Structures are given as C-alpha cells and as structure tokens.
A and B are shown apart, each in its own frame.
Chain A
Amino acid sequence: MRKNFARFSMLALALMLALSACGQPAATEAPATSAPSNEPFVFGMLYVGPYNDNGWSQAQYEGGLYVEKQLGAKMLYLDKVNPADRPGTTPDQLAEELVAKGAKLIIFSSDDMKDGASAFAKAHPEINVIMTSGDQVWSEGKNYVATPNMTNIMGRMEYGKMIAGCASALSSKTGQIGYLGPLINDETRRLAASAYLGAKHCWEKAGKNPADLKFKVDWVGFWFHIPGTTTDPVQISDNFYTTGYDVVISGIDNPVNLGEAQKQTKEGTPSFGLAYDYVAACEAAPDVCLGVPYFNWGPEYTKAIASAQDGSWKSQFVWLGPDWSNINNLDTSMVGFENGPALSADAAAAVKAFTAELAGGLNLWTGPLNLQDGSAYLADGEVATDQQVWYLPQLLEGMEGLSASK
C-alpha cells in the first residue's frame, strides 16, 4: 500500500511537472519556415467528408490539386473532419496540426467548420484563412465580423441547381421531383428553391400544366449519412422512387440517390437522378444520371492563394457565378453543369437553350414569388437582392417539405 502510494505520487508529480512546462509561454512550435524562397508555398485543406467522396469533398480536393499545379504550391490535407469521424477534435485544432507541418494558409472547406474557422482566424492572425461557403466577411451580410485574414469563397450554385431542376422537369414522366436535402440552413434552402425554380420554368415552357408538377424536399440532417445520427439518404431516395418520384436531385455531399435510381430502373420503373458538387460524379451510375451541377474551386482558390503568396491578400467575400461564355471551362468557371448520359437529346437541347437564356440575363429569382407559408417574398417584377437570395428564410410556395426544423 505504502509502496503503491509512492509510485502514485511520483506519477502525479511527473504529470504536474509536464503541465507546468505547458504553462510557460516559450517553447512554441518552431514554425517550419524561414525557408528559402524557392521552397513551395504550403497550404492546408480540411474536408468534411472523405477526399474521394465523389462529391463536395472530392471537388475541394481537386481544387487543391489545381492550385498545386498552377502555383507549384504544396497541399496538406486532412479529410473526414467532422465530430463523428474524428471524435474529440475540433476543426481549429486540426488546422493547427497542418500549420505545425508548415501550412501558411488554411482552407476550411465546409459550412460545418464555420465556428472553428472563426476561432482559428481570430487566434492566428498571421495565417490566412479561406472559409468556403461562409458569410463571415460579407460586409452586407448578417453575420459580418471584420476579419482581415479571412476570405469567404462560394459559387453561385443557384444557376447550377436551376439547370438541374430544368433537366429534371424535362425528364420526369410523373411530374414528381424529389430533392435530397442535407441539413436545413440558408444555403440549402436557397439551393433547393433554385432547383424548384428551374424545374417550374422548364415544365411550363414545355407546355405542361403547372398544377401537375410536384416538388418535394426531404432532409437528411447532415451533409452526408452518419449512421445512428442522421436519416439515411438511401432510405429517403428509396422512398421517393417508390412513391412516384422518378427523378431525385441530390443536394447532399454525394450521389447515393443514383444507386437507388439504378435499382428501380432494373426492377422495371425507369428512374433518374442528378448528382451534385463534383464534375465527374455521374460516372458512379451513368445510365441513370441526368447530369451534375458542380463546383470548380481551382481558379478562385488559386487567385486567393497567389495573393497570400505575393502579399496582396485582402479579406473579401467572393460569390461567383459561372463563366457564361462557357460554363464548363475548368480554368475560368466557378460553377458548371455537365450533362449526364441519361439525358435525352431533346432534353439536352432544351437544357442548352435554358442555359443560354440564363447567360442572356434571365433571372428566375424575380417576383411574384411567395414563401412556403404564403407570405410575400418578392412583389411582381421585383428582383431578389443578393441578401434576399442568400438568406432565403423559407422554401418557396409550391415546394413541399420542411422549411426549418420543427
């Protein structure tokens, strides 16, 4: 007993010594820097999902590779940055791991890391931060906090989603379109609404009765499935397809709906799906894929990182639409739409015409539009401001599904 106690005290003492060492301000990590200028610029990226998820995170990863190629920079990354996959960690802590490995700029590439990105930017004013999809440094936004070392970058995916909605409406036989929503927030509401606006436009343009179009959103609860915590997106897709919805648009980080569409088609009910986020996502199931609205992060990330490199960095809010001269130009367009093999030739022609209309200035975010509960959103002829689009408070009238958590 006494001997045990002696051992115990020694351990406790050792730990206290270690701790008191922590308390000393010195001995911070030697930043792996003061490097000669020919060493590559190192930037770090955090992905919310796996880097090869065939969706959001893979598009981010490809964006990082593009920067490496353009600038001769070096990317460090950590994927699956979410509390379910990396219990006990926080995004700001993981970002510090990348900084310890020499990263001079960190890209927090998911909405889920917003709090972590803000905390990190505040604690490390010397490290530049790109917070993807965020609005922290939008001076006209609702959550503005001046943060000189932070830039927000987002694509105007509203256009991609409108085209996706159009392709759905042109391909659906039943007139019932399902939208596989991730979690509910400003971004996901406005993107689901955009898909609806596109669907409605092309449905009516094809001469069909507006009353016959059904558009329903069902939410997963996160950007992808976390077993035991979120609803299963496979289940939601299956529910759509087995209840008459023959097209499901993915709004989540991967195209799991495509697998269910294949299953239904094999069983005799022709079904289709739209992927999301990643340019090559249709390859998962080309025979049922109508297309994919995707993000092309490379060029904007390159600009931002180049500015950090040459010292011209400026905190800014970037919300960029497609390059209308060619929305699929991977060197210039922030947002694109790639047709899927399952899109018929007629539909493809109509989608092309619609894209041309958008390029010519057609704005579907124009009144009269009501919110889901019937209250007025845009008066007749009124065009939505950026703030009205970004912070869409509810789904639109005519859409089924929850606008907010109950």
Chain B
Amino acid sequence: MLKARLKGLALQALAMALAFGAVSLILISAGASPLEAYQNMFFGSVGSTRKFAEVLVAFVPLLLATAGLLVTFSAGLWNIGVEGQVVMGAIVTTWVYRLFLESALPPALIISLAILGGMIGGAVWAALTGLLKTFGGVNEIFGGLGLNFVATAWTIYLIFGPWKRPGVASMSGTMPFPDEFSLPLLANLRISPWALALALIAIVIIYFLLQGTYFGLKLKAVGKNFRAAYLLGIPTWRYSLYSFLICGALAGAAGAVQVAAVYHRLIPSISSGYGYLGLMVAMLINYQAIWAIPVALLFAALNIGSIQLPIMMKLDSSLSGVLQGALVLFVLLMEGVRQKIVKRAP
C-alpha cells in the first residue's frame, strides 16, 4: 500500500519533471535560457506583496471555477460550459449594478445583490446545459460549448448595443461603475479580501460536501456508475442537475467577482479563460478538492509571473499556458502509466 503510494508520488514527480523539461526544450530552441525564464516567472509572482496580490486576483475566480467543477466531475459530468457560466455570472452582476445605478441603497447591499445575481445567473446557465442533457439528450460537452458561444456573443451584443457607452461602439467595455460599487480592496492593492474569503469558503464547503455528506456520496455514486446508482434508488438525473446548479453558482460567483472587484465593468473577455483553466486544474488534481488551493495558486502564479517574460526576455507570455497544458498532459499520462503498473502487479 505504502509502496504503491510512493510509486504514485514518484510518477507525479516524473510528470512535473517531464513538463518542465518539455517547456525548457521549447525555450532552448527559441534561444532563451529556461532557468532565467523560470526565475523571472517565480519572482514575477511572489517577488513582492503587490505581485502576490495580483496572483490572488487571478486565484479567486480560478478557485471558484475549480470548486464548482469538482462537483460536476464527481457526478461524472464534463461541464465544459463552465466558461459560459462565468460569463453569465458577470452579465447578471453587471445587470444588477445597472438597475441600482441611481439607487440610494447602501453599496454593501447592492454589491451583495449583484454577486448573488451573478451566482443565480451562472446556475441558470448551467441548469440549461443540464436540462439539455437530461431532457434533450444533448451531451453536456456539446451543450456547454454551444452555450459558451451564446454567452460570449451576448456579452458582445450588450457591450455594442444596449449597454454601450454614449456615442461609442468599442470592445473596450461598458462604462465603469462608480467606486462605491467595488468590493473593498486592500489598501494600494487590487485584491479584495472579501472575494478571497468567498473563494476559500466555497472550496471548504465543497470539500466537506464531497467528503463528508451523504449527498456527496450519492453524487459520487452517480459519477462512478450512473446505472448502478439508478438501480440502487438514487434519482440520478436530479443529482446531475444539482451538480450543475452548484457548479454554475460558483462559476457565476467567479464572473461576479471579475465585475465587482477586478474590471468594474463588463468587457468582452470578462471570464479571462478562468473556466477553461479551472478544467485543467480539476484534471490535474484528479478531482480531489484538497489539492485545489495549491494547484490553483500555482496556475494563477504562472499566469501572473509570465507577464515578466515579454518585459524582461522578449518572450511571449503564452509560455505559461504551454507549461500549464504540459503539466496536465504529463500528469494524466503518468496516471495512465500508474494504472497499468497497478494492473500488472499481482
């Protein structure tokens, strides 16, 4: 047992080494020093308080999306639509803010309503994917992908149409909201402790939901064997839908935070790809909630640290995406290898 564990760890370490090795090869072929690149990325993400705060700004929506995805993955669902659910959360949050632009209500209440609205928006959008699957027979991957495009198109329509700045038609986004609509940020930094708390509470709740409740157990049963779960009396489609609702609400919260604490307006790429990145994090941690925080933090750090590459080395920052992808690929590959070894062992 212990030996198998050690073997698993060794293989994961090997996967990491291979991922970094592959990216190093790319760097060398581009004539750049891998060591210098990694160094820049490292200090670019934790080199100062401000940089680490920027990492946390990326970490919050990423962790929220990941937390949601853990639920749908547990139920055996590939919720590719998470990206659209983030977008829809941002749209509804913006909409709620717009409703209260002239209102005399306390800002704290308006912000809470806006974030709640975003969560509902994300949940409704996710439920659509679920309903399409349950009643329309549309696989959630295709339904989700389709709805992602719809959500993005809707954002662009709103920005160029009903919510445009006066006299302007530009991708730059809607008019920024007044300062009091912003989630309170730490002094001189862009991170909101409220947003961070929201994300941490979410992952803790999801952890206990999946590990320590009957609901989580049933959800996993549905995920492991849909038919068997059904035969054992679990209302499987209802559990699928619940998982979509939970994931959508958390993804919606990610979108809400993007509007309420980061961009203070709606922009076309408001989701910043955190939904898709969350899918990678969830796969990398093999759907175990306990690893969500460190790995999401690592991915956020790579995103922020890579900004140094074009400044310092004239390299493209998309290198961080290559590294993230390589990590996921090699870890999955090594997982396959591990399973083969386990099977072969007597």
A contacts, CB < 8 Å to B: 1, 4, 7-8, 11-12, 15, 18-19, 21-25, 27-29, 76-80, 82-84, 86-90, 93-94, 96-98, 100-101, 111-112, 114-115, 123, 183-186, 219, 221-222, 226, 228-230, 393, 402, 404-406
Chain A: minimal CB distance from B299 (Å): 11
Is there an interface contact between B189 and A22, defined as CB atoms closer than 8 Å?
yes
Is there an interface contact between A93 and B190, defined as CB atoms closer than 8 Å?
yes
Binary per-residue interface labels of chain B (255-284) against chain A in the complex, 1 for a CB within 8 Å, 0 otherwise: 000000011010111011110000000000
Residue in contact with A19 in the complex, picked from B54, B193, B211, B274, CB distance below 8 Å:
B193
Q: Is B218's beta carbon under 8 Å from chain A?
A: no
Is there an interface contact between B293 and A12, defined as CB atoms closer than 8 Å?
yes
Residue in contact with B167 in the complex, picked from A86, A89, A186, CB distance below 8 Å:
A186
Residue in contact with A25 in the complex, picked from B188, B263, B311, CB distance below 8 Å:
B188
Is there an interface contact between B169 and A402, defined as CB atoms closer than 8 Å?
yes
A8-B290, A19-B56, A23-B186 are contacts. A184–B170 as well, Cβ < 8 Å? yes
Chain A: minimal CB distance from B142 (Å): 18
* Stretch touching chain A among B44-52, B108-116, B130-138: B44-52
Is there an interface contact between B274 and A405, defined as CB atoms closer than 8 Å?
no
Is there an interface contact between A84 and B50, defined as CB atoms closer than 8 Å?
no
Is there an interface contact between A89 and B307, defined as CB atoms closer than 8 Å?
yes
Residue in contact with A88 in the complex, picked from B170, B187, B193, B274, CB distance below 8 Å:
B274
A19-B56, A19-B193, A83-B272 are contacts. A228–B169 as well, Cβ < 8 Å? no
Contacts of A25 in B (CB 8 A): 187-188
A19-B193, A88-B272, A183-B170 are contacts. A405–B311 as well, Cβ < 8 Å? no
Q: Please, how many angstroms separate the alpha-carbon atoms of A28 and B187 in the complex?
A: 11
Q: Which chain B residue has the least Cβ–Cβ distance from A89? A: B307
Is there an interface contact between A87 and B204, defined as CB atoms closer than 8 Å?
no
Q: Is B317's beta carbon under 8 Å from chain A?
A: yes
Q: Please, how many angstroms separate the alpha-carbon atoms of A226 and B168 in the complex?
A: 18
Q: Is B156's beta carbon under 8 Å from chain A?
A: yes
Contacts of B269 in A (CB 8 A): 83-84, 87, 229
Is there an interface contact between A229 and B193, defined as CB atoms closer than 8 Å?
no
Q: Is B226's beta carbon under 8 Å from chain A?
A: no
Is there an interface contact between B310 and A221, defined as CB atoms closer than 8 Å?
no
Q: What is the predominant secondary structure among interface residues of chain B facing chain A?
A: helix
Contacts of A112 in B (CB 8 A): 170-172
Q: Please, how many angstroms separate the alpha-carbon atoms of A89 and B289 in the complex?
A: 27
Residue in contact with B290 in the complex, picked from A7, A22, A97, CB distance below 8 Å:
A7
A7-B290, A393-B167, A405-B168 are contacts. A22–B307 as well, Cβ < 8 Å? no
Q: Please, how many angstroms separate the alpha-carbon atoms of A393 and B211 in the complex?
A: 61
Q: Please, how many angstroms separate the alpha-carbon atoms of A97 and B51 in the complex?
A: 8
Contacts of B198 in A (CB 8 A): none
A sample of 24 cross-chain residue pairs with beta-carbon separation below 8 angstroms, ordered by A number, consists of: A1-B211, A1-B212, A8-B290, A11-B294, A15-B293, A19-B196, A22-B189, A25-B187, A25-B188, A27-B48, A83-B267, A84-B268, A86-B317, A87-B269, A88-B57, A93-B190, A98-B311, A112-B172, A184-B167, A185-B170, A229-B152, A229-B156, A393-B167, A404-B169
Contacts of A29 in B (CB 8 A): 48-50
A28-B188, A87-B269 are contacts. A15–B171 as well, Cβ < 8 Å? no
A19-B196, A29-B50 are contacts. A4–B211 as well, Cβ < 8 Å? yes
Chain A: minimal CB distance from B213 (Å): 12
Q: Please, how many angstroms separate the alpha-carbon atoms of A393 and B58 in the complex?
A: 39
Chain B: minimal CB distance from A193 (Å): 14
Is there an interface contact between B188 and A22, defined as CB atoms closer than 8 Å?
no
Is there an interface contact between A27 and B263, defined as CB atoms closer than 8 Å?
no
Q: Is B146's beta carbon under 8 Å from chain A?
A: no
Q: Please, how many angstroms separate the alpha-carbon atoms of A112 and B308 in the complex?
A: 22
**CB within 8 Å of A: which of B178-219?**
186-191, 193, 196, 200, 204, 207, 211-212
Is there an interface contact between A12 and B171, defined as CB atoms closer than 8 Å?
no
Q: Please, how many angstroms separate the alpha-carbon atoms of A81 and B303 in the complex?
A: 15
Residue in contact with A221 in the complex, picked from B171, B212, B273, CB distance below 8 Å:
B171
Q: Please, how many angstroms separate the alpha-carbon atoms of A360 and B237 in the complex?
A: 79
A22-B191, A83-B272, A101-B311 are contacts. A28–B161 as well, Cβ < 8 Å? no
Q: Is B297's beta carbon under 8 Å from chain A?
A: yes
Q: Please, how many angstroms separate the alpha-carbon atoms of A405 and B200 in the complex?
A: 41
Contacts of A123 in B (CB 8 A): 188
Residue in contact with B273 in the complex, picked from A11, A87, A404, CB distance below 8 Å:
A87
Q: A87-B272, A221-B170, A226-B268 are in contact. List 7 more A-B contacts (CB 8 A).
A: A8-B289, A11-B290, A18-B52, A29-B48, A97-B44, A115-B265, A404-B168
Contacts of A78 in B (CB 8 A): 307, 310-311
B contacts, CB < 8 Å to A: 44, 48-54, 56-58, 152, 156, 160-161, 164, 167-173, 176, 186-191, 193, 196, 200, 204, 207, 211-212, 262-263, 265, 267-269, 271-274, 289-290, 293-294, 297, 303, 307-308, 310-312, 317
Contacts of B58 in A (CB 8 A): 88
Q: Which of B171, B271, B293 has the most CB of A within 10 A?
A: B171
Chain A: minimal CB distance from B15 (Å): 20
Chain A: minimal CB distance from B4 (Å): 16
Q: Please, how many angstroms separate the alpha-carbon atoms of A228 and B52 in the complex?
A: 32
Contacts of A219 in B (CB 8 A): 169
A19-B193, A87-B269 are contacts. A406–B188 as well, Cβ < 8 Å? no
A19-B196, A96-B50 are contacts. A185–B311 as well, Cβ < 8 Å? no
Is there an interface contact between B168 and A184, defined as CB atoms closer than 8 Å?
yes
Q: Which chain A residue has the least Cβ–Cβ distance from B294? A: A11
Contacts of B52 in A (CB 8 A): 18, 22
Chain B: minimal CB distance from A175 (Å): 28
A21-B49, A88-B58, A88-B303 are contacts. A12–B168 as well, Cβ < 8 Å? no
Is there an interface contact between B50 and A183, defined as CB atoms closer than 8 Å?
no
Q: Which chain A residue has the least Cβ–Cβ distance from B204? A: A12
Q: Please, how many angstroms separate the alpha-carbon atoms of A174 and B200 in the complex?
A: 65
Contacts of B53 in A (CB 8 A): 22
Contacts of B317 in A (CB 8 A): 86
In order of increasing CB-CB distance, the 10 nearest A-B pairs are: A405-B169, A183-B170, A88-B272, A87-B272, A184-B169, A222-B171, A29-B48, A83-B269, A185-B168, A405-B164
Q: Which of A184, A219, A402 has the most CB of B within 10 A?
A: A184
Is there an interface contact between B310 and A79, defined as CB atoms closer than 8 Å?
yes
Chain A: minimal CB distance from B30 (Å): 17
Q: Which chain A residue has the least Cβ–Cβ distance from B164? A: A405
Q: Which chain B residue has the least Cβ–Cβ distance from A405? A: B169
Contacts of B265 in A (CB 8 A): 115
Contacts of B308 in A (CB 8 A): 97
Contacts of A23 in B (CB 8 A): 186, 193
Q: Which chain B residue has the least Cβ–Cβ distance from A94? A: B307
Residue in contact with A15 in the complex, picked from B170, B187, B200, B303, CB distance below 8 Å:
B200
